Amino acid sequence: MYTKELLPGLDPKKPLIICGPCSAETEEQVLDTAHQLASYGAKVFRAGIWKPRTKPGGFEGVGVKGLPWLKRVKEETGMYVSTEVATKAHVEAALEAGVDLLWIGARTAANPFAMQEIADTLAASGKDVPVLVKNPVNPDLELWIGAIQRIQNAGVKRVGAIHRGFSAYGKHLYRNMPQWHIPIELGRRMPDIPIICDPSHIGGKRELIAPLSQQAFDMGFDGLIIESHCNPDEAWSDASQQVTPEVLNLIINSLVPRNGAKPDSTESLTLLRQEIDRLDNELVDLLGKRMRICREIGLYKKEHGMKVVQGARYSDMMKSREELAREMEMSDEFIRRVYAAIHEESVRQQIEVFKK
């Protein structure tokens, strides 16, 4: 039996709130942020000591030298402390330093070898520490479940999950797309584990923290992990998504918690409609991208003296799209009408290119 209660002494009826800077930068920054957060009633502090960065050359975290700073946070504020681990060495150092809760980042959760290494290290440590597993960067529920199971199989009893959104190519409103149906399905498949939401990494922008957090509560998430920094604009990582402890306190006080209750039917309808809105945004975005490519093709055809419409290509394309649509339980007739409209607009856009 896995418990939803991750840390002793916290009210299990209240949402779990983990907060603190993206990265531990200096001892002063960590302590200043922690004291401010504690003064607003924060109970669980976060700070990344080892930072997985997309490209080399970025700030990759202060490493083990930051662990005594977390120890000071514990001693001086009484908060629990948490950090991200990605390797055996990280787990060993964090446990040695008395870190109370570990989380596994999205890039690591996508790597079964790394997950197994972490799980084996936890099993060998003989220590009983709660572990939260972020969703992998790619929207693969089975990979996420597999990562969680590796930790559970290591004998860790207090395991939870964090929804931090999924990578998508190109520019979007969100830094990482919140595909809510995935954590919702995770909750259905693993009802005993707490699932919390990370609005900072989903939104990537300060102003999205409050609406995403409320949405998460409305959907019955068990808590939030939010980045907060004493001087957000000067943060060494993720500056645009961090807020001061004061602002974080305002945000949290503005939220309406739902005590983990599942949404009622009107709320479910609202959530489903929000999902439809999101998918429609994606649909229009995708169509826009498709048209842009059509214009490039138009330019190529113009430069090579080719005709706009290539009949054979259209028939081949339609055949494969109809097959796909059938697999997705849509009628051939429907997809033919959709494609006739898309094709008509593509041709119109290419003709515009020819006219120039």
Residues near Mn ion (CB under 5 A) are 22, 238
Q: Smaller CB distance to Mn ion: residue 218 or 227?
A: 227
- The whole-angstrom separation of Cα 113 and Cα 151 is 12
Nearer to ligand PEP, 15 or 105 (CB): 105
210 binds, among Mn ion, ligand PEP, none (CB under 5 to 8 A by kind): none
Which residue lies nearer to ligand PEP by CB, 84 or 322?
84
Q: Tokens representing 57?
A: 């050359």
Shortest reach from residue 23's CB to Mn ion, in Å: 7
Q: Which two tokens mark 179?
A: 């595909």
Residue 21 vs 220, nearer CB to ligand PEP: 21
Whole-number minimum distance, CB 355 to Mn ion, in Å?
48
Name the DSSP letter for residue 207: G
- Encoded tokens for 199: 């609005």
| Residue 322 interacting partner from ligand PEP, Mn ion, none (CB closer than 5 to 8 Å by kind) | none
Q: Which residue is nearest to ligand PEP (CB)?
A: 105
Partner that binds at residue 134, options ligand PEP, Mn ion, none, CB closer than 5 to 8 Å by kind: ligand PEP
C-beta nearest to Mn ion: residue: 22
Q: Which is nearer to ligand PEP, 105 or 245 (CB)?
A: 105
Least distance to ligand PEP, CB of residue 40, Å: 20
Angle between helices 265-303 and 209-218 (to 10 degrees): 130
Q: How many CB atoms lie within 10 A of CB 355?
A: 7
β-sheet bridge partners, residue 80: 44
| Residue closer to ligand PEP, measured from CB, 43 or 46 | 46
Smallest separation (angstroms) from Mn ion to the CB of 122? 23
Complex with ligand PEP: residue 70 or 294, whichever CB lies closer: 70
Site residues for ligand PEP per CB under 6 A: 22, 48, 52, 84, 105-106, 134, 164, 201
The least CB distance from residue 48 to Mn ion, in Å, is 6
CB of 138 to ligand PEP, least distance (A): 13
The helix/strand/coil state of 11 is: coil
Measured CA to CA in angstroms, residue 24 lies from 8, 34, 39, 66, 167 at distances of: 25, 11, 19, 7, 24
Residue 208 tokens read as: 């999205």
Q: How far is the CB of 63 from Mn ion (least distance, A)?
A: 16
Binding partner at 232 among ligand PEP, Mn ion, none, C-beta below 5 to 8 Å by kind? none
User: Which neighbouring-strand residues pair with 83?
Assistant: 102
Whether the CB-CB separation of 209 and 17 falls below 8 Å is answered with: no
- Residues of 121-154 as b/e, b for ≥16 C-beta within 10 angstroms? bbeebeeebbbbbbbbbebbbebbbbbbebbbeb
